[in-house]
Structure 1
Amino acid sequence: MKITKNLDLTSYNSYKIKASCKVAYFPESEEDIVSFFTLNKDFILLGSGHNIIFSKDYYEKPMLLFNGNFNQVEVEDDVLEIEAGAMMWDVAQLALEVGLSGVEIFYDIPSSLGGAIVMNAGASGEEIKDVLVKVRYLDLADLQIKEIFKEEMSFEYRNSFFQRNTDKIVLKAWLKLQKKGKTEIREKMELLKTQRWAKQPKDFPNAGSVFKRPSGYYVGALIDELHMKGFTIGGAKISEKHGGFIINFNNASGSDILEIIEEVKRRVYNLHQVKLEVEQRVI
């Protein structure tokens, strides 16, 4: 287990918010993870950092990070066995190399395997649950390692068994894919990437879609209706390219981003009586 004191977290969150923590742990095995939770009951768990907002500039609590570690992927026939720290764009690239289809949507979605399962990540009508077989996890209630099949997880839009049970820590997952030609797989990956880049603000730090899609509405359209594109607080603003994104254009703090979120929620509710739900995790 790698342990780092006074870790600068700026590069560990996609908003590039400046923050640090007293001590960070980077596990390399299941034994490391069990050991961490045996010794720490009050902690912060951080994956790839692509769907989070740091609300503070310093964290006293120990952090367990899955970022460039605990990220092995094994292939057996048409099944991928993936550790929680693996980046999904790396998984998509490996699947392409071995001629397996089913994770092309993750080619340009920044997420670790663990985070993707917790959030039931996806795009273009596809979600990780579509290819998931089972998950291996650590149950903090008794510090036992267990496995659960997809059918038992009650997946919903951007929600899962693991989001509802935060004392269950994803360790590994098995994805069942389909054999296809590499050319066909690559073409789909590039098409999805091109479509995403045309719509999303890739030139400033951001953490993807801020809000879950409310029933009967599109967040981007609601922002357009409120004329809030470009709305700014501090160093953060709503992207002019896509209203569903907040960007860090000038050394934004977490509080800048959170203040914009609250203002958007207030205005949307006043106009349509719709309560927007934040997709990103506030730490």
Structure 2
Amino acid sequence: MIIHQNFDLTNYNSYRIEARCKVAYFPENETEIVELFKTNQNFILLGSGHNIIFSKAYYDESFIIFNGNFNDIDVENSNGIIIAEAGATMLEISKKALEEGLSGVEVFYDIPSSLGGAVVMNAGASGEEVKDILLKVRYLDLDTFEISEIENEAIGFEYRNSLFQQSKSMLVLKAWLQLKPLDKNLIHEKMEDMKQKRWAKQPKKYPNAGSVFKRPKGFYVGAMIDELSLKGFTIGGAKISEKHGGFIVNFNNAKGGDVVSIIRHVQTKVKDRFNVDLEVEQRII
């Protein structure tokens, strides 16, 4: 296990917000993870750091980070199953699937997320979600320190939600993904098509963490923000992207508080105009 004191978290969040924590632990296997939680239940857990907002510049809490570690990916090619640890990124998994000629994760190519985070929030795009390919999950029960496995049907997947998001005592360790054989050229073609469409619509010039809000039933967040003329709205070094109103970008050394303040402003304006309570898709720490 790698341990760092007074650790710089700037490169461990996709907003590139400057922050530090007292101690950062980088476990490399399940045994190390269990031992850490047996000594302390107050860790802050980070996957790839792509869906979080650091609201503080310094954290007295210790962090457990799955980024560049705990990321093994195995393939059962005879039945088209990929088995990956929670720290593996969806980019790494999609590239591995391409190498093996397995289809089903192309939509996640270029989506910044760890597998663990993707399972917890049932990540998805273009009508495809993690729940559509997931067979089962291996997890640590933080109440009993027992490791168990749970099938897809019991996870209670909903739009950007799951049992793991509702129960803070269940920590995703590994997942099994059921894919299908397909010509590698077709897989690569879909991956690149998804990437080009995403880059055409989304801001890539400045650091950001993807869609800020969940899509409310019957509405589109971007359209509401357009109607409210909020594109370009700025607080500190953060602003609502002019390219896509559903994104907040760090254009000038933004602090976490800048991003959170914009979120609260948008929620208030949307509530006043549309009587809609926008739910934040990202995790504010």
For Structure 1 versus Structure 2, the TM-score category normalised by the shorter chain is over 0.9
How do 1:14-163 and structure 2 match up within 5 A? 14-77=14-77, 78-163=80-165
Gaps of 5+ in 1: none
**Which deviations, in whole Å up to 9, do the C-alpha atoms of 1:149-180 show, x marking residues without a partner?**
00101100000010001110000000010000
User: Displaced runs of 4+ in structure 1, greater than 3 A?
Assistant: none
Aligned length: 283
Aligned to 1:201: 203
Counterpart position of 1:281? 283
> 2: distance between equivalents of 1:29 and 1:254?
31
Partners in 1 of 2:238 and 2:42 — Cα distance?
Answer: 30
Task: Give the CA deviation at 1:43.
Answer: 1.3
Secondary structure of the residue aligned to 1:216 is coil
Distance (whole Å) between structure 2 residues aligned to residue 115 and residue 165 of structure 1? 14
Determine the structure 1 residue equivalent to 2:219.
217
- After superposition, residues 223-234 of structure 1 pair within 5 angstroms as 223-234=225-236
- Distance, in Å, in 2 between the alignment partners of 1:6 and 1:31 is 24
**CA-atom RMSD in angstroms:** 0.5
Secondary structure at the residue paired with 2:109? Answer: helix
Q: Residues 7-51 of structure 1: CA distance to partner in whole angstroms, max 9, x if unpaired?
A: 100000000000000100001000000010011111101110100
**Which amino acid in structure 2 is aligned with residue 64 of structure 1?**
I
Query: 2:259 maps to which residue?
Result: 257
Deviation at 1:280?
0.3
Normalising by the residue count of structure 2, what TM-score does the alignment of the two structures yield? 0.99
Gap regions ≥5 residues in structure 2: none
Q: What is the Cα deviation at residue 94 of structure 1?
A: 0.5
Amino acid at match of 1:251: N
Q: How do residues 265-276 of structure 1 correspond to structure 2 at under 5 angstroms?
A: 265-276=267-278
CA–CA separation in structure 2 for the residues paired with 1:10 and 1:62: 15
**For residues 141 and 198 of structure 2, what CA distance do their matches in structure 1 show?**
36
Whole-Å separation in 2 of the counterparts to 1:46 and 1:93: 22
What is aligned with 1:186?
188
